Structure 1
């Protein structure tokens, strides 16, 4: 359950807003002849079983809209309550944001200069992904956005009664459109659909959010009593950047072809250039300064002359417009220098010509010159208000919009290299059988040679051809536009250093290597992804071996020089989802913490900074949780190179679809990282006295979790007691739910694993094992347990684990678990596995309550306030889903596929509605 804003929600206002929206919805239903449905929506104990409705599909949709309206009212309440608290008590009132952060800096005696020097080192990189978690159509999400904007519009107190009525009628129109629009995808979305959705956020939402973030920082800076002169230069502000996996992530995704990657890179570039063009045109319309009233300055005139010479005849039109207005003429020349061309119809196309800007850095230099020329004539307010926001747009989005990461599985790379070896006359099958030393010896020999394995016309195997085709697309893009639009070559399931070094051979094969120093360097970063607990434990040794390799050292130095950095930076991705599926919430979270500590030490030996890439999902089981607590719970030194994190599935819409929420969520990251960096610089790294206890708790939790998932009959229980088979049949994402066609738990992706447990209200991936660990500590070392009870809130890593497990417990429901467990045909398996789960549930509840010294219902009051208005409707939906699951599975077993297919859509509706009620999928 998404509860990151629960602490600031005004639940009374949320209830008022919701009742208003609900009344509008009921009126719409009555107008359309759905009187019974309008009367029996899940509120005030007036609901009736869904089977009583003549059209259960329509009833399911009504329940889904009911929850959507409730979620919207709560989101708006949180946003408006934050605004009210800031208006009444100042920016410093809210935890985790710039106002409170800067005030605490000042109270601790940290100088304005120290903070100002830190800010440009704060680097936040949000990477949007399209994992199969978003259960709603893009069309439906757009209706939600319109509805939310109308709800916000309604907040204005200046409206006349007629204007208020107009807003109310507009709300009813949008609700009716929702009612008339199918919520479920009948076909799986294509990658192009997911790409359009990501580009919508990068092109339309985040560019509007960026200046709002900067304004909030500047206002908080003023409120703290600092001088804003140092922040008027945009180069002194924190850096925000974006990335995407859509069109680049091919791990188990056969639809992400080389052609898809090429289209994606082109679409991203074209949208970025269109974004920059729009802002430059708007800026040009505002800078109507006459040279007769202020001198333009020698540097500006010289640059205008240089651009005219470079553009040749293309500069004539730019200079003929706006005579005697050199600032506008300069902007006209900037616009003419963009690598973008309009055809006769006005459509924009990417242009590659020597007289255009080669990179966004050249445009930034011209914008800096423009800003300085305005400062020279005393127009600082105009420079700050008009030029700086455009500079920030170019600085953030460049000519690429967001960096596209390329991810593939290490096993796929093994197959590809084996095929390349065979094609070149070697025995490729040997490579698949070699141990790590043999692989390393072979790779070391090969990497000393510049020759490729194959010639252009040679035929190689399927995996090798797929991989090389992708890398050739990357090479061509780099040749034409540089590397700015491409992120990293990510190796998922990194198990050994050889999994990373093979990438250099693929890069050599297509020409992504370049001479540097005494050998070759890879022009794109190679990034490990450590996912399972075992791989996280091995990760420091793997990284150290990788960093010591000569090709890696040259590559990092090449990339450092190109980026203008003072120290080499190695990005390392750590996975929350698979480690959780592998070992449970406690073991996963602590293994990630320990791995980061050890990785930082390994990198320091190579004089390298680590940029951690957190593969977080939308649920607590997959790394989500309150942002400020997440940041505080990271180990010392982990933000020195910034932070990178994924935003997945429905989380993107929940956190960023509405601009007020987007500003809030990004500010939490920016202010939180700044706070952590200052705190860690002021304090030396020290071992915490509870670390050894955490190691033990992690181990005991892992043992309890593994005992469950390895128990005889567990997989059968999971497949029958949850709607995993429906989720696997759904059309909610372009990616398959399994990496291969196998039906093992290991092969199942972590997202449907979490999704299915949440749907059946077990939520066990968010809490299972915590109770056994705490019970063991309480029994064997009661004094330490008591110390944790007293100090659990004082140490962020422990607090983060316990509070997340506690929140997950709140969304679990024993009664509903039992109802789903009745779907398990084998009573022995059912009683055994359910007995283990129920015993751990009670155990976890008992010991968390002992830690907090009060019942969970009181400790997590806000979470329970979320659940209360949803409880009745969710119970009805769960009963309907269970009924339909029984029917569907019976039809499937009887080979009545056509009849089974006929009720599948209704099952998808239950999944969608329950997801809306819980505010989470996987």
Structure 2
């Protein structure tokens, strides 16, 4: 099949601009004498080649590494071997960074406007039809994009390394060899990781690097393009982009987040923003040196300076003050100075409109089970104790809701409370202070994770009314998070109960009749497998949209998307573009986390491109406004059966007695808690014994990714497709794939996940007396899934329709192959009788390999 011209052009650019330049700069990098070990850089290419040949010949990691060291090094003992392996790891980690920088430097060449619809082009096309034009304008009026940065522990680079990557990318763009050489040396000598785990505030500070250095500019650039396009067609401009932030606010399963952290992060976001404003205003002041604006200039500069640098200032929302005075400066420039440099004022005005006094909205998130405990604690105190029967917890859901009175009260707490309960109560009280300091948008959403019933929301509202809030000033949006397959099935029923509840209905009216609902891919995948999770969320969205529309509620879905396809990642804009009219899609909200932040939003160019894709996807989906064919009986029945077959296959695997022990034995799962990159525990419970239900989805997915098996990203889909073929439904499946963009995206992202798996690396597991058959089961489903997916798509290889991305994955996997083998080597050693010192050495060795493997995957955890 002949490739499209643009696809072939991208391949050529990738090979010339990325692969060739990486090989060139990598050869330079390997000659740098970093760690007083003369031959490390020389030995590494040889080691990589030896690893590739060893895997091809199904050698064990121990065989590969031991024979290599015997043949090519003078390592005299185990300590020498470990030392050199650590040096290899350090080089490989930086090779990943170098490849990232080379790829990012070529971003604009690889991602041109060809094949991408801009807002201006959409408006131009719509001119020929008054109906289409009016529809486009209406879609723009309703559209918004909210990107929420989360503190999930797979973003490893500290700010110092991110700055080097940024500078290295700039130098590579212009082939500045001298600067590249210096930056590679700096990279080699700069620590990648912290010696101790970060606090929640540390995480927020690290993640704020992206706000300050990327989103501050990229969001303003995109908004400027939108404003320009709308002004050209005499359409009123509107704010489209919003930013959200979870570090310091997300305490779900993280006992290390406290109310004082939340306050500190809110202050930090505000201060960083005003430093950005001050930096811009200084540039503006250097240009606006005319008469008539001096007083206003100095007044604004003084206020900005105080808010940026004076830690003793009493913070307040001054966005209106800035807007008023900047508009005054702009008016003077237009009236008296021919509008000279008015564009600079417009740029700052646009940023104030986007970011206000808060920069990004700080979401608060807590588990419903904790909130129920808090409500129970409050019910024991005066005057609340008189409002509830003692057996409240034993009542039915309907009876509980009937008991809720929503009376404001000043509670007199007397009993002992756990730290979690005290934190919840303190945070509820302090949200009001954050809103007063930074504006309402600074902290206006409370997300209830593991939401299982309407009372989870309603009881939380009572907690607000008992802790400093009045009904008429409840400037909070309550956001249920439905995660498991079971919770997704009853989500619409829960929302109907809320929509028809008098108090909640009145509250929604005060919030503009808008409801945000968060849907989680991670736990639903862990619960039911890849296909079942996606299909469950699709059906939940359809049902929730219908319920919301029937109650005249403007619904916005907030998608908890992680990096990999198994956690809702992959090519997310294709999901949004493929929605039918049955799914609310005017307000796109999603989490971005881990390497997804650095890979898709790590530079101004890439962030702008990906934001534009999401915005355009929202508009194009609305323009089509066509029925989603997956809801037709033929397609829906097929997907229902496939989801059930996939679910049964995944659950059978999950309930296998060796399932969890296999993961603990062969992956670094049990060591993840020792990685100093996150304040968040690996599992929710504090018990010694690991249970699957307590294991965090990110740890679950990361462990399978480290194994290069990626089970959560495909397992069960091969069985489901094979069953359809054997039932004689293959042509109907092909028709579903060809007609449904949504189903096609599910399949394509599944193939992306599988392309990062390599069972040949663990082929020797087949001979393991305890786990051999279990490995064969995993491998069998992988081969079945690969065969059926390729047959369905009509392809000869995985990711055939994304050749550039496929090549990128292949290069990255080649770079980190030695890390995977070193990890298995270390984990094998840990099964032997070792001294305490040896245990620590091999544990450190295994742990260090995790970073590079995850970073190379870009969306693998």
What's the TM-score, normalizing by structure 2? Answer: 0.88
CA contact (8 A) 2:630 2:736 kept: no
Equivalent-residue separation in structure 2 for 1:207 and 1:859 (angstroms): 34
Correspondence 1:420 to 2:378: yes
Alignment of 1:773-852 (within 5 A): 773-782=720-729, 785-790=730-735, 792-819=737-764, 827-828=769-770, 830-852=771-793
- 1:423 CA drift (Å): 3.4
Q: Which residue does the alignment assign to 1:59?
A: 88
Correspondence 1:201 to 2:196: no
Q: Which residue does the alignment assign to 1:143?
A: 164
* Selected match of 2:594 from 626, 649, 663: 649
Q: Which residue does the alignment assign to 1:326?
A: 292
* Selected match of 1:451 from 387, 409, 418: 409
- 1:279 CA drift (Å): 3.2
Cα distance, 1:211–1:183 mapped onto 2, change above 3 Å: closer
- DSSP 3-state at the match of 2:516: strand
Q: Which residue does the alignment assign to 2:514?
A: 569
Q: Which residue does the alignment assign to 1:885?
A: 827
- 1:430 CA drift (Å): 4.0
CA contact (8 A) 2:630 2:740 kept: no
Cα distance, 1:696–1:744 mapped onto 2, change above 3 Å: same
Q: Which residue does the alignment assign to 1:45?
A: 49
Cα distance, 1:6–1:601 mapped onto 2, change above 3 Å: farther
Equivalent-residue separation in structure 2 for 1:47 and 1:106 (angstroms): 59
Cα distance, 1:350–1:367 mapped onto 2, change above 3 Å: farther
Q: Which residue does the alignment assign to 1:20?
A: 24
- 1:212 CA drift (Å): 3.0
Alignment of 1:731-742 (within 5 A): 731-742=676-687
Q: More deviation in 407-416 or 117-126?
A: 117-126
Q: Deviations over 1:774-809 (max 9, x none)?
A: 112112233xx2143255233111101111111222
Equivalent-residue separation in structure 2 for 1:241 and 1:209 (angstroms): 12
CA contact (8 A) 1:6 1:862 kept: no
C-alpha RMSD of matched pairs (Å): 3.1
**Unmatched tracts of structure 1, length 5 or more:** 155-166, 290-324, 516-520, 561-567
Equivalent-residue separation in structure 2 for 1:274 and 1:861 (angstroms): 42
- DSSP 3-state at the match of 2:672: helix
Q: Deviations over 1:412-456 (max 9, x none)?
A: 1111122222334579984444442332233x2x32x3334x326
Q: Which residue does the alignment assign to 1:292?
A: none
Q: Deviations over 1:92-117 (max 9, x none)?
A: x1335547655665688876565455
- 1:396 CA drift (Å): 0.8
Cα distance, 1:178–1:386 mapped onto 2, change above 3 Å: closer
Q: Which residue does the alignment assign to 1:360?
A: 319
Q: Which residue does the alignment assign to 1:309?
A: none
Equivalent-residue separation in structure 2 for 1:528 and 1:493 (angstroms): 8
Cα distance, 1:184–1:462 mapped onto 2, change above 3 Å: closer
Equivalent-residue separation in structure 2 for 1:268 and 1:428 (angstroms): 44
Cα distance, 1:24–1:799 mapped onto 2, change above 3 Å: same
- 1:889 CA drift (Å): 4.0
Equivalent-residue separation in structure 1 for 2:564 and 2:363 (angstroms): 23
Alignment of 1:715-754 (within 5 A): 715-742=660-687, 743-754=690-701
CA contact (8 A) 1:45 1:872 kept: no
Equivalent-residue separation in structure 2 for 1:349 and 1:386 (angstroms): 28
Cα distance, 1:545–1:646 mapped onto 2, change above 3 Å: same
Correspondence 1:348 to 2:313: no
Equivalent-residue separation in structure 2 for 1:901 and 1:30 (angstroms): 25
CA contact (8 A) 2:816 2:856 kept: yes
CA contact (8 A) 1:8 1:78 kept: no
- 1:392 CA drift (Å): 1.2
CA contact (8 A) 2:629 2:740 kept: no
**Unmatched tracts of structure 2, length 5 or more:** 1-6, 53-63, 74-79
* Selected match of 1:768 from 695, 715, 727: 715
Equivalent-residue separation in structure 2 for 1:672 and 1:407 (angstroms): 28
Equivalent-residue separation in structure 1 for 2:390 and 2:721 (angstroms): 48
Q: Deviations over 1:329-365 (max 9, x none)?
A: 3344444566x737xxx93247449xxx854245335
Correspondence 1:533 to 2:562: no
Q: Which residue does the alignment assign to 1:508?
A: 465
Cα distance, 1:898–1:97 mapped onto 2, change above 3 Å: farther
Equivalent-residue separation in structure 2 for 1:177 and 1:431 (angstroms): 62
Cα distance, 1:690–1:229 mapped onto 2, change above 3 Å: closer
Q: Which residue does the alignment assign to 1:463?
A: 420
Equivalent-residue separation in structure 1 for 2:350 and 2:447 (angstroms): 28
CA contact (8 A) 1:488 1:524 kept: yes
CA contact (8 A) 1:203 1:271 kept: yes
Equivalent-residue separation in structure 2 for 1:469 and 1:488 (angstroms): 16
CA contact (8 A) 1:512 1:524 kept: no
- DSSP 3-state at the match of 1:246: coil
- 1:60 CA drift (Å): 1.4
CA contact (8 A) 2:249 2:257 kept: yes
- DSSP 3-state at the match of 1:602: helix
* Selected match of 2:704 from 754, 757, 761: 757
Q: Which residue does the alignment assign to 1:518?
A: none
- 1:34 CA drift (Å): 2.6
CA contact (8 A) 1:596 1:635 kept: no
Q: Which residue does the alignment assign to 1:397?
A: 355
- DSSP 3-state at the match of 2:398: helix
Q: Which residue does the alignment assign to 1:910?
A: 849
Correspondence 1:441 to 2:382: no
Equivalent-residue separation in structure 2 for 1:860 and 1:481 (angstroms): 44
* Selected match of 1:122 from 129, 143, 146: 143
- 1:586 CA drift (Å): 0.8
Q: Which residue does the alignment assign to 1:476?
A: 433
- DSSP 3-state at the match of 1:27: coil
Alignment of 1:369-380 (within 5 A): 371=330, 379=338
Equivalent-residue separation in structure 2 for 1:365 and 1:906 (angstroms): 58
- 1:243 CA drift (Å): 1.1
- DSSP 3-state at the match of 2:105: helix
* Selected match of 2:616 from 658, 671, 686: 671
- 1:526 CA drift (Å): 0.9
CA contact (8 A) 2:139 2:586 kept: no
Q: More deviation in 535-544 or 414-423?
A: 414-423
CA contact (8 A) 1:408 1:492 kept: yes
Q: Deviations over 1:158-185 (max 9, x none)?
A: xxxxxxxxx3222222222222233343
Q: More deviation in 667-676 or 423-432?
A: 423-432
Equivalent-residue separation in structure 2 for 1:872 and 1:820 (angstroms): 21
CA contact (8 A) 1:40 1:47 kept: no
Equivalent-residue separation in structure 2 for 1:108 and 1:591 (angstroms): 38
- DSSP 3-state at the match of 2:49: coil
- DSSP 3-state at the match of 1:236: coil
Cα distance, 1:481–1:33 mapped onto 2, change above 3 Å: closer
Equivalent-residue separation in structure 1 for 2:48 and 2:571 (angstroms): 31
- DSSP 3-state at the match of 2:255: coil
CA contact (8 A) 1:72 1:148 kept: yes
- 1:811 CA drift (Å): 1.4
CA contact (8 A) 1:722 1:820 kept: no
Equivalent residues, number: 821
CA contact (8 A) 1:132 1:737 kept: no
Equivalent-residue separation in structure 1 for 2:732 and 2:786 (angstroms): 19
CA contact (8 A) 1:730 1:908 kept: yes
- 1:814 CA drift (Å): 1.8
CA contact (8 A) 1:721 1:820 kept: no
CA contact (8 A) 1:620 1:808 kept: yes
* Selected match of 1:696 from 624, 641, 645: 641
Equivalent-residue separation in structure 2 for 1:171 and 1:900 (angstroms): 39
CA contact (8 A) 2:826 2:842 kept: yes
